[in-house]
Chains A and B, each alone.
Chain A
């Protein structure tokens, strides 16, 4: 059986020292081993941005794609081979700005893909512009007098869109992050995991210290029940979204693959694709 070391490759990430994304990389490697995956049965699809490079830093099939489109590609991979474990990943700009439509529709569609967002509240690779997760008043190169657009409450939006698995974690908490990713992989259906992953170079406001001071762990809230949708939304609102842990899970909702009419029980890629002559002739008759 593979260990987390089998998910390491020899490529040195080009992230800045101290970047939150290193923890996400480690957590994916550990979680993959913990759930019993073999590297060839994991596909990691990522978008563009610093965090988008993550698919190249894990020893698995990796696809570094185009800006904002990791989710449709990941869903296509899963539809082609449902026997794979598919992780999509990227930053908050990738998923909640240019790729927002895909995020909401991936949630609605509920194909079994685990989507891990490295949320640093800023655009890093383009050297410091505002993101949809930047707070109002946040000063960047593109908002020199402070952002005048509202911050997306992504967890509430996901829950209201019908998400079956919504969780949040923090790069400083590798143990919780690993556990959350394991749960996301094991969830049958789409799972959204938002990770506070600080940008040490361009975001001088939302730092490790800032997150530590402001985050509430759901484990610490007495009586918190992730199956309770109303409680989930209320708790998020009470804490301005700054909570970590499993926020909401609906274990009853079947995945898209389970619901879609006539869909192959094993990976489509394994099918023989030739049409028999009788079958073909039958199709022609319908046009006569």
Chain B
């Protein structure tokens, strides 16, 4: 019996690879296993190799694995491209239809299962995915019945005979493999999971759910990979809460419409990826100078330009912090897990309203699309705090415009919105006085600039865990620093260093701007060597750290479009020691 393994299914895009992985994973998740799935896909609808790698464990998971135990192949290319990942004793389960071959230099065991043939016998070749799923369950020592609930959910509206045919396909796949493998199948038999119900979700859905729980009721957005799931989920859900998603003509419209929604008092977000964020930059500056709350999600992908649109990268950090002309207050939060994607997005709306400025929730493709088991999210942890804004406030009668930009001790002024009596004021992207009226007076300019640029000084008192730290060692041989999705992978390699007798601390930066200097400095001071791990070519996080913390850093960089494997971080850190 084993307590974890890695399974991968591959074939041509558009062949149902995604749904094969989905059904396999949901069924296992419901058995109480922890899963982590990562899809390899291209920017096209049909054709091209695609695969879905799913790691299964009886313990919590936050990362893909280095290796692979079981490869399910719908074509020879899948075997050729992925067979090198297989462990010693690994297994290939392939459709007998294409006469699969395992390369001579591989010692993988091949089971040619008639996926297509069985499916055709049952009525349609579409069910070949179910046969593959069945064969996979047999090798894990699971009954084919574990899939019944999922199959019923998907197919019950097509009638019970369709459900039974699909179950039959799964059963036949399982039976064929049991027969072919005999006792050998037992080598991948999984320990029993705890049977607890947990969520199985992608980071984008956690972000969308966080927005909903955080009170967002309007979302203008433009479709883009890998952010579209956020708008798609909210398009489905917001009508249940009186709100709406508008698919705009471009990201400039999305961002400015979101500014309009927030200006009028509704928590409004937009979400995009690098190219969209580039288009939004001027509008972000407008939100900064007009002190309008604004939440924007950026799910990073490979840049620049169209770059690697379906691949992992973390190269927007500098543009998120410094993008837009001029100088504005801005917050950039970088959640590092699916759970954090939820809580941080909900909290982003509080920060945006309390400090009246743009807040960017920065994620990356691996976090946005990586699908994993998540412990139930905690409703009591979600707060709604609206800062100096109350739509129902009764304002005293005044002769002149309301001082929307009144100079205050904390730099934040009372916010009023259209529809509020006695609150009329002007809003302009031109430098303005306390009433919002345009002003080029040098003293006023300095006062308003200082007001805006100092109001975030209090943020560190209120932002919980700006850095996720796992620092058990008072003095460390190595401190590894990362942001976003690298957290799970870094955590994965920590025990390997411990086995080598090395003392390693880990810090994952969650608040990248304004930078948590005071929290990071002591960790760096107590480390003999500091390595910053990031998915870009120029070491953007390392550069940000150097700007804020007195230190010497080493880079571990990866920018080939793929997330780090644990072994890559381990090996490259070791080389630097």
On A, residues with C-beta under 8 Å from B are 9-11, 38-43, 45, 55-56, 59-66, 69, 72-81, 83-84, 101-102, 104-105, 109, 260-264, 267-271, 273-275, 277, 280-281, 283-284, 287-288
**Contacts of A273 on B, CB cut-off 8 Å?**
215, 217, 267, 384
Q: Is the CB of B209 within 8 A of A268?
A: no
Q: Is the CB of A79 within 8 A of B246?
A: yes
Output the least CB separation between B561 and chain A (Å). Answer: 28
* Residue B85 CB within 8 A of the other chain: no
**Contacts of B94 on A, CB cut-off 8 Å?**
none
Q: Is the CB of A261 within 8 A of B419?
A: no
Considering the chains assembled together, what is the distance between the CA atoms of A146 and B524 in angstroms?
Answer: 65
**Contacts of B426 on A, CB cut-off 8 Å?**
55-56, 62, 64
Q: Is the CB of A69 within 8 A of B283?
A: yes
> Known: A56-B437, A60-B424, A73-B256. Contact between A288 and B246, CB under 8 A?
no
Q: Is the CB of A269 within 8 A of B391?
A: yes
Q: Is the CB of B218 within 8 A of A288?
A: no
Q: Is the CB of B197 within 8 A of A288?
A: yes
Some 30 contacts from A to B, beta carbons below 8 A apart, are A11-B437, A43-B418, A61-B418, A61-B424, A63-B428, A64-B426, A64-B429, A65-B256, A65-B259, A66-B283, A69-B253, A72-B220, A73-B257, A73-B260, A76-B218, A79-B244, A80-B265, A81-B265, A81-B266, A105-B253, A261-B239, A261-B244, A262-B243, A263-B243, A264-B242, A269-B266, A271-B241, A273-B217, A280-B379, A281-B379
Q: Which residue of B lies closest to A40 (CB)?
A: B421
Output the least CB separation between A208 and chain B (Å). Answer: 28
Q: Is the CB of A83 within 8 A of B419?
A: yes
* Residue B207 CB within 8 A of the other chain: no
* Residue B258 CB within 8 A of the other chain: yes
Q: Is the CB of B264 within 8 A of A269?
A: yes
Given contacts A63-B290, A287-B374, 7 further A-B contacts (CB under 8 A): A64-B426, A76-B259, A80-B266, A260-B239, A264-B243, A271-B241, A273-B217
Q: Which residue of B lies closest to A41 (CB)?
A: B419
Q: Is the CB of A269 within 8 A of B252?
A: no
Considering the chains assembled together, what is the distance between the CA atoms of A61 and B435 in angstroms?
Answer: 12
Output the least CB separation between B349 and chain A (Å). Answer: 9
**Contacts of B199 on A, CB cut-off 8 Å?**
284, 287-288
Considering the chains assembled together, what is the distance between the CA atoms of A270 and B487 in angstroms?
Answer: 40
Considering the chains assembled together, what is the distance between the CA atoms of A273 and B440 in angstroms?
Answer: 39
Chain B 261-281 per-residue mask, 1 if CB under 8 angstroms from chain A, else 0: 111111110000000000000
**Contacts of B267 on A, CB cut-off 8 Å?**
273
* Residue B509 CB within 8 A of the other chain: no
Q: Which residue of B lies closest to A108 (CB)?
A: B249
Considering the chains assembled together, what is the distance between the CA atoms of A72 and B260 in angstroms?
Answer: 7
Q: Which of B201-222 contact A (CB under 8 A)?
A: 201, 205, 209, 212-213, 215, 217-218, 220
Output the least CB separation between A106 and chain B (Å). Answer: 9
Considering the chains assembled together, what is the distance between the CA atoms of A237 and B213 in angstroms?
Answer: 53
Q: Is the CB of A76 within 8 A of B244?
A: no
Q: Which of B530-576 contact A (CB under 8 A)?
A: none
Q: Give the 4 A-B CB pairs with smallest separation, nearest first.
A: A76-B260, A262-B239, A273-B215, A264-B242
Considering the chains assembled together, what is the distance between the CA atoms of A283 and B379 in angstroms?
Answer: 11
On B, residues with C-beta under 8 Å from A are 29-30, 197-201, 205, 209, 212-213, 215, 217-218, 220, 237-244, 246, 248-250, 252-254, 256-268, 282-283, 286, 290, 374, 376-377, 379, 382, 384, 391, 400-401, 417-430, 437-438
> Known: A69-B252, A270-B391. Contact between A79 and B218, CB under 8 A?
yes
Q: Is the CB of B215 within 8 A of A102?
A: no
Considering the chains assembled together, what is the distance between the CA atoms of A252 and B252 in angstroms?
Answer: 31
Considering the chains assembled together, what is the distance between the CA atoms of A102 and B283 in angstroms?
Answer: 15
Considering the chains assembled together, what is the distance between the CA atoms of A41 and B417 in angstroms?
Answer: 10
Q: Which residue of B lies closest to A109 (CB)?
A: B246
Considering the chains assembled together, what is the distance between the CA atoms of A275 and B237 in angstroms?
Answer: 13
Considering the chains assembled together, what is the distance between the CA atoms of A12 and B218 in angstroms?
Answer: 36
**Contacts of A269 on B, CB cut-off 8 Å?**
264-266, 391, 417, 419
Q: Is the CB of A39 within 8 A of B428?
A: no
Output the least CB separation between A101 and chain B (Å). Answer: 5
**Contacts of A74 on B, CB cut-off 8 Å?**
260
Considering the chains assembled together, what is the distance between the CA atoms of A280 and B268 in angstroms?
Answer: 19
**Contacts of B286 on A, CB cut-off 8 Å?**
65-66
**Contacts of B420 on A, CB cut-off 8 Å?**
40
Considering the chains assembled together, what is the distance between the CA atoms of A275 and B260 in angstroms?
Answer: 24
Q: Is the CB of B249 within 8 A of A65?
A: no
Output the least CB separation between B229 and chain A (Å). Answer: 12
Best-surrounded residue of A10, A55, A56 (most CB of chain B within 10 A) = A56
Considering the chains assembled together, what is the distance between the CA atoms of A45 and B268 in angstroms?
Answer: 18
Q: Is the CB of B244 within 8 A of A277?
A: no
Considering the chains assembled together, what is the distance between the CA atoms of A41 and B418 in angstroms?
Answer: 6
Q: Which residue of A lies closest to B349 (CB)?
A: A273
Output the least CB separation between B200 and chain A (Å). Answer: 6
Considering the chains assembled together, what is the distance between the CA atoms of A77 and B266 in angstroms?
Answer: 9
Best-surrounded residue of A74, A84, A264 (most CB of chain B within 10 A) = A264
Specify which of A60, A104, A268, A274 is in contact with B243 (CB 8 Å cutoff): A268
Considering the chains assembled together, what is the distance between the CA atoms of A76 and B221 in angstroms?
Answer: 12
Q: Is the CB of B265 within 8 A of A65?
A: no
Q: Is the CB of B200 within 8 A of A40?
A: no
Q: Is the CB of A66 within 8 A of B218?
A: no
Q: Is the CB of A275 within 8 A of B266?
A: no
Q: Is the CB of B256 within 8 A of A260?
A: no
Q: Is the CB of B268 within 8 A of A262?
A: no
Considering the chains assembled together, what is the distance between the CA atoms of A9 and B418 in angstroms?
Answer: 17
Q: Is the CB of A76 within 8 A of B263?
A: yes
> Known: A66-B286, A79-B246. Contact between A274 and B215, CB under 8 A?
yes
Q: Is the CB of A64 within 8 A of B268?
A: no
Output the least CB separation between B440 and chain A (Å). Answer: 12
Considering the chains assembled together, what is the distance between the CA atoms of A111 and B417 in angstroms?
Answer: 20
**Contacts of B382 on A, CB cut-off 8 Å?**
275, 280
Considering the chains assembled together, what is the distance between the CA atoms of A155 and B377 in angstroms?
Answer: 53
Considering the chains assembled together, what is the distance between the CA atoms of A46 and B220 in angstroms?
Answer: 20
Q: Is the CB of A268 within 8 A of B248?
A: no
Q: Which residue of B lies closest to A270 (CB)?
A: B391
Considering the chains assembled together, what is the distance between the CA atoms of A273 and B391 in angstroms?
Answer: 12
> Known: A11-B437, A288-B200. Contact between A105 and B249, CB under 8 A?
yes
Specify which of A66, A77, A101, A261 is in contact with B249 (CB 8 Å cutoff): A101
> Known: A72-B248, A75-B260. Contact between A81 and B429, CB under 8 A?
no
**Contacts of B217 on A, CB cut-off 8 Å?**
268, 271, 273
Q: Is the CB of B253 within 8 A of A72?
A: yes
Output the least CB separation between B259 and chain A (Å). Answer: 6
Q: Which residue of A lies closest to B377 (CB)?
A: A284
Output the least CB separation between A17 and chain B (Å). Answer: 20
Specify which of A40, A105, A263 is in contact with B419 (CB 8 Å cutoff): A40
Q: Is the CB of A262 within 8 A of B218?
A: no
Q: Is the CB of B384 within 8 A of A76?
A: no
Specify which of A42, A63, A79, A261 is in contact with B261 (CB 8 Å cutoff): A79
Specify which of B261, B290, B384, B428 is in contact with A80 (CB 8 Å cutoff): B261
**Contacts of A270 on B, CB cut-off 8 Å?**
391
Considering the chains assembled together, what is the distance between the CA atoms of A65 and B426 in angstroms?
Answer: 11
Considering the chains assembled together, what is the distance between the CA atoms of A280 and B377 in angstroms?
Answer: 9
Considering the chains assembled together, what is the distance between the CA atoms of A211 and B68 in angstroms?
Answer: 77
Output the least CB separation between A285 and chain B (Å). Answer: 8
**Contacts of A63 on B, CB cut-off 8 Å?**
260, 263, 290, 427-428
